[in-house]
């Protein structure tokens, strides 16, 4: 392999594209290892633009974990914008990595991080630009293995023919295992080539290899059976769960982008997993159980990270950050420690309670106090019982009003539209709520300039959640309900002008739904859309619903399936779901019961505070909840930052 840097050839093109800095790499803390020293080489792809992909922690963690291995190297790559794509195609330059600008095809593994389904066409495009055949069956021994991970990899079926394998769950340990298995296989003379390697990875249970499973379909279009087609391949493939996050304090030295990105801050993951049990949330269901980092480790990561990056803001990231068992002390400790250093701390919390305000007050005490966010998700109390996001109307209004009383001028409220059992009335309640919030807010704050923005996302049923059986609301219905809500808010003379509304059209949600709950037959549609020019589907300026619906109509013209079949159709318990053989640990019966409870408007508790609800994860995966407070007591070192080392 004569891997060389393509930078010389790229340089003249950089002057011709928008924001060329995103393609050059060379950021502080970027790693470029000697090519020939490595036995196993990974290209890590986030299939969206650099500005969106670089804040992702998953890629940053794997990049560091892999690069710390003496004989492994990892480089990063992102999707290129259409202007760059056109030039690359014109000049015949392959898709490249940022770190050493080598062709992606020169690597042993292309590891793709899938946080959202709308990046699938970008994945195909990157493969094609790299000169890698888009279908796994057409690849040779000199092509990299294409492996996907991240949340969407929990149903990789729509991508089945394009990928060589999928890794479910936390990637730290599996990527190391995969690297070791590749090195071993190569040392023993690469027996049976690519197929031999994939069998080895599948047999070890670390990678799901779609090609090793046959799917049969009934005449109505339903899946009849999913079964392995090779000896030594497991019937089900399980997710990986990383325990003891204190032992894995990554990223230790986050890459500091030179280009502007969506998150201009450093992030520290304070825990992984979430057991709040919101029924719409795939992330919460597939990342169980909760595993906290201790306050001491978090403080340490914040301190080292800031020193190594120079960021002036730290976000304490997780799925529900205010739920960390030591969060109060942590927030206060860090706020004390960084007092006077012009370092801001943020906690992306959306909890609807007074504690959220307390924390936000604490964290913003040295700086900005702009907007505070709450996520009731459902407009009516009934709706909130269905989705298991329980908060009463009175509590909600009391909480939000308390925020205005404590000096916040702008409150953002997050909701969903299209939830199971939802009626027009449930959605219109959002307007009533916002009105009530402003009314009492004006009363307690004595000001008329307070604002409330309601942000509404379309609900998309996801695999491995209790709502995986639900029918998705058709796009027209979503649009109609949002229109009703808009009219209701606009029509309010007294409060309407203090209420902002942000929402998206229903159509992209239908495509997301198709890709989320689709099976292998969706692959041809993805390919067709990509061939028709589909790229950057997560960006409204590039997304075209027509492209998707006509591709689906065309590909499936002789089949009993269509867009609606995959999206708006409700499933029954005995239907074989495309991801039935992929194990997130959740018991199918538990999920179904939770779905029934949702329909009955019954709630389920959080296993951190109420008894275990037998979701199945801990038994199945041999894991347990890891929440503090840790035995180690963390005392903030007040001196840090207050006195910067003197240079004089």
Partner 1 sequence: MSKRQPPNEAQPVVQKLRLRYAKSGRMRFASHRDFQRALERAVRRAELPIAFSGGFSPHPRISYANSAPTGAASEAEYVQLGMREEVNAELIPDALTAALPNGFAITQCVIATSGSVADRLDASLWQLELRGVNREQVAVALNQLKVTPDVTVDRVTKSGVKQVEVGSAILESTVTAMESVAGVEACAILQVVVRHDIPAVRPEDVLTALVEYADLDEPASSVFTRLAQGPLTGDPVTVGDPFSEMR
C-beta of 85 vs 488, nearer to ligand B12: 85
Question: Residue 444, Cβ neighbours under 10 Å: how many?
Answer: 14
Q: Is 282 a residue that touches ligand B12 (CB under 6 A)?
A: yes
Using an 8 Å Cβ cutoff, are 120 and 526 in contact?
yes
Stretch of 70-78, 169-177, 398-406, 493-501 lying at the interface with ligand B12 (CB under 6 A): 169-177
C-beta of 7 vs 355, nearer to partner 1: 7
Q: Over the range 260-290, which residues count as b (16 or more CB within 10 Å of their CB) and which as e?
A: ebebebbbbbbbbbbbbbbbbbbebbbbbbb
Helix (H, G, I), strand (E, B) or coil at 379: coil
| Among the listed residues 113, 390, 478, 549, the single contact to ligand B12 using CB under 6 A | 113
Q: Is 637 a residue that touches partner 1 (CB under 8 A)?
A: no
Q: Is 605 a residue that touches partner 1 (CB under 8 A)?
A: no
Q: Within 421-460, which residues bind partner 1 (CB under 8 A)?
A: 445-446
Q: Within 258-287, which residues bind ligand SF4 (CB under 6 A)?
A: 275
Q: How far is the CB of 168 from ligand B12 (least distance, A)?
A: 9
Q: Is 61 a residue that touches ligand B12 (CB under 6 A)?
A: yes
| Among the listed residues 47, 251, 289, 466, the single contact to ligand SF4 using CB under 6 A | 289
Residue 55 contact among ligand B12, ligand SF4, partner 1, none, beta carbon within 5 to 8 Å by kind: ligand B12
Residue 617 contact among partner 1, ligand B12, ligand SF4, none, beta carbon within 5 to 8 Å by kind: ligand SF4
Residue 151 contact among ligand SF4, partner 1, ligand B12, none, beta carbon within 5 to 8 Å by kind: ligand B12
Using an 8 Å Cβ cutoff, are 405 and 355 in contact?
no
Q: Within 390-419, which residues bind partner 1 (CB under 8 A)?
A: 405-407
Using an 8 Å Cβ cutoff, are 181 and 187 in contact?
no
C-beta of 62 vs 159, nearer to ligand B12: 62
Stretch of 191-199, 455-463, 493-501, 612-620 lying at the interface with ligand SF4 (CB under 6 A): 612-620
> How far is it, in rounded angstroms, from Cα 357 to Cα 399?
8
Can you read off the two tokens belonging to residue 281? 């949330």
Helix 82-91 to helix 7-14 angle (10° resolution) is: 130
Stretch of 34-42, 180-188, 264-272, 606-614 lying at the interface with ligand SF4 (CB under 6 A): 606-614
Residue 231 contact among ligand B12, ligand SF4, partner 1, none, beta carbon within 5 to 8 Å by kind: none
> How far is it, in rounded angstroms, from Cα 246 to Cα 458?
36
CA distances from 41 to 5, 23, 311, 496, 600 (A): 15, 20, 30, 57, 52
Stretch of 403-411, 559-567, 571-579, 609-617 lying at the interface with ligand SF4 (CB under 6 A): 609-617
Q: What is the 3-state secondary structure (H, E, C) of 570-639?
A: CCCCCCCCCCCCEECCCCHHHHHHHHHHHHCCCCCCCCCCCCCCCCCHHHHHCCCCECCCCCCCCCCCCC
Helix (H, G, I), strand (E, B) or coil at 544: coil
In sequence order, which ranges of 1-160 are alpha helices (DSSP H)?
7-14, 50-53, 57-67, 82-91, 120-130
- The footprint of partner 1 (CB under 8 A) covers 7-8, 11-12, 14-15, 19-21, 23-28, 256, 258-260, 264, 306-312, 342, 361, 365-369, 405-407, 445-446, 644-648
């Amino acid at each position: 392999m004569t891997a060389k840097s393509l930078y010389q050839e790229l340089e003249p093109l950089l002057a011709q594209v928008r924001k060329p800095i995103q393609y050059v790499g060379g950021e502080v803390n970027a790693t470029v290892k000697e090519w020939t020293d490595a036995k196993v080489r990974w290209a890590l792809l986030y299939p969206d633009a650099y500005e969106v992909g670089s804040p992702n922690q998953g890629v940053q963690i794997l990049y560091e974990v892999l690069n710390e291995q003496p004989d492994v190297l990892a480089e990063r790559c992102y999707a290129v914008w259409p202007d760059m794509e056109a030039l690359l195609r014109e000049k015949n330059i392959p898709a490249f990595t940022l770190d050493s600008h080598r062709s992606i095809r020169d690597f042993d593994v292309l590891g793709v991080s899938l946080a959202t389904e709308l990046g699938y066409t970008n994945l195909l495009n990157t493969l094609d630009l790299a000169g890698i055949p888009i279908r796994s069956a057409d690849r040779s021994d000199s092509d990299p293995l294409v492996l996907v991970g991240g949340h969407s990899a929990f149903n990789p079926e729509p991508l089945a023919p394009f990928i060589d394998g999928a890794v479910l769950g936390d990637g730290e340990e599996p990527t190391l295992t995969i690297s070791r298995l590749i090195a071993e296989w190569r040392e023993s003379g690469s027996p049976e080539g690519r197929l031999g390697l994939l069998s080895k990875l599948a047999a070890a249970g670390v990678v799901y290899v779609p090609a090793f499973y046959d799917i049969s379909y009934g005449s109505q279009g339903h899946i009849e059976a999913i079964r392995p087609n090779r000896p030594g391949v497991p019937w089900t493939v399980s997710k990986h769960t990383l325990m003891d996050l204190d032992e894995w304090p990554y990223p230790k030295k986050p890459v500091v982008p030179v280009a502007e990105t969506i998150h201009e801050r450093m992030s520290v993951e304070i825990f992984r997993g979430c057991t709040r049990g919101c029924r719409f949330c795939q992330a919460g269901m597939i990342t169980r159980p909760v595993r906290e980092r201790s306050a001491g480790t978090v403080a340490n990561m914040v301190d080292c990270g800031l020193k190594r990056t120079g960021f002036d803001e730290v976000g304490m990231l997780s799925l529900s950050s205010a739920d960390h068992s030591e969060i109060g002390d942590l927030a206060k400790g860090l706020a004390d420690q960084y007092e006077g250093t012009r370092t801001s701390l943020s906690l992306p919390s959306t909890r609807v309670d007074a504690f959220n305000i307390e924390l936000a007050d604490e964290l913003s005490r040295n700086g900005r106090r702009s907007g505070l966010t709450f996520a009731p998700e459902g407009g009516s109390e009934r709706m909130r019982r269905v989705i298991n996001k329980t908060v009463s109307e009175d509590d909600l209004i009391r909480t939000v009003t308390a925020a205005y009383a404590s000096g916040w001028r702008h409150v953002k409220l997050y909701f969903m539209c299209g939830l199971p059992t939802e009626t027009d009335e449930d959605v219109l309640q959002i307007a009533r709520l916002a009105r009530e919030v402003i009314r009492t807010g004006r009363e307690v704050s004595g000001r008329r300039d307070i604002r409330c923005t309601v942000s509404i996302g379309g609900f998309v049923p996801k695999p491995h959640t209790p709502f995986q059986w639900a029918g998705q609301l058709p796009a027209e219905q979503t649009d109609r309900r949002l229109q009703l809500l808009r009219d209701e808010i606009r029509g309010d003379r007294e409060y309407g002008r203090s209420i902002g509304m942000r929402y998206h059209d229903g159509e992209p949600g239908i495509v997301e739904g198709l890709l989320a709950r689709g099976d292998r037959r969706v692959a041809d549609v993805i390919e067709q859309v990509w061939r028709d020019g589909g790229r950057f589907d997560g960006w409204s300026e590039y997304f075209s619903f027509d492209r998707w619906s006509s591709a689906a109509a065309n590909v499936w013209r002789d089949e009993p399936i269509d867009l609606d079949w995959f999206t708006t159709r409700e499933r029954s318990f005995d239907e074989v779901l495309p991801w039935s053989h992929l194990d997130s640990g959740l018991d199918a019966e538990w999920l179904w019961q939770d779905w029934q409870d949702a329909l009955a408007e019954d709630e389920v508790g959080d296993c951190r505070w109420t008894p275990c609800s037998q979701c199945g994860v801990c038994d199945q995966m041999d894991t347990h909840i890891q929440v503090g407070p840790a035995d180690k007591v963390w005392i903030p070192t007040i001196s840090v930052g207050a006195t910067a080392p003197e240079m004089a």
